[in-house]
Amino acid sequence: MRGNTGKYYNEARIQSRHRIRWCRWVRWETKARGGINMIMKPCPRCKRLMPYGQSYCKDCTPIAQAELEAIKERNAKKKMQRYNRGRDPKYLTFYRSKDWRRQSRAKLESVQYRCEARLSGCQIIAVEVHHIKPIQTQEGWDKRLEWENLEAVCTSCHNGRHPEKLRRQKDDGVIDMRKVQR
């Protein structure tokens, strides 16, 4: 292939990381220094030739990354909207209020971001504040901002406190013998 510098091949056999792939319209280039053969392919955005193994050329990479971040943000926003659609607006308004944000941040800072629950699988660093008395009850709603009703917890402990909100695993028909009681 060294003698065919700068020519296109309809199909070229490309070997990378112990895998053999077939790729269409690959151009073999010889660099001026050292006579190194390089496999070139067109950029999917601007169609300029770039080294094989890269997703985009140097000019298109930041644009493609910005587009990807925008798509991720949009998807996260849609997911949150779907989640909030099933929630009571009364609770949404409460969790978005300045009073709750100030109180939950103060609770986390007072315990120095350490989990107070310490359930199995605890991650030790608290990032959420849990209501001991659920705010869905009248008593819990009345005590929603009281310091004694709040508990700083990590995500895994908070999920442990609310097992009903966890997604259930699909039963695929496989029985885990380690979990079967004898």
Q: Does residue 109 register a pLDDT over 90?
A: yes
Q: What integer pLDDT is reported at residue 150 of this predicted model? A: 94
Q: Which structure tokens are listed for 34?
A: 């050292």
154 in Cβ contact with 123 (< 8 Å): yes
Q: What integer pLDDT is reported at residue 1 of this predicted model? A: 42
Q: What integer pLDDT is reported at residue 118 of this predicted model? A: 85
Residue in the block written with tokens 């979990």:
179
Cα–Cα distance measured from residue 94 to residue 135, given in angstroms and rounded to the nearest whole number: 10
Cα–Cα distance measured from residue 34 to residue 45, given in angstroms and rounded to the nearest whole number: 30
Q: Taking all residues of the chain, what is their mean pLDDT, rounded to a whole number?
A: 79
Q: What integer pLDDT is reported at residue 50 of this predicted model? A: 86
Residue in the block written with tokens 């006579």:
35
The two beta strands, 37-42 and 19-30, are: antiparallel
For the chain, give every domain's residue range. Answer: 25-86, 88-165
Q: pTM for the full model?
A: 0.52
| Segment among 34-43, 89-98, 172-181 with least mean pLDDT | 172-181
Beta-bridged to residue 13, according to DSSP, are 22
Which tens digit of pLDDT belongs to each residue from 82-107?
A: 888 888 889 889 999 999 999 999 99
Q: What integer pLDDT is reported at residue 26 of this predicted model? A: 52
| Segment among 40-44, 58-62, 136-140 with least mean pLDDT | 40-44
Handedness of CA 153, 157, 160, 164 (dihedral sign): positive
Q: Which structure tokens are listed for 95?
A: 């969790």
HSE-CB at 146 with a 13 A cutoff on CA atoms is 11
Q: What integer pLDDT is reported at residue 21 of this predicted model? A: 45
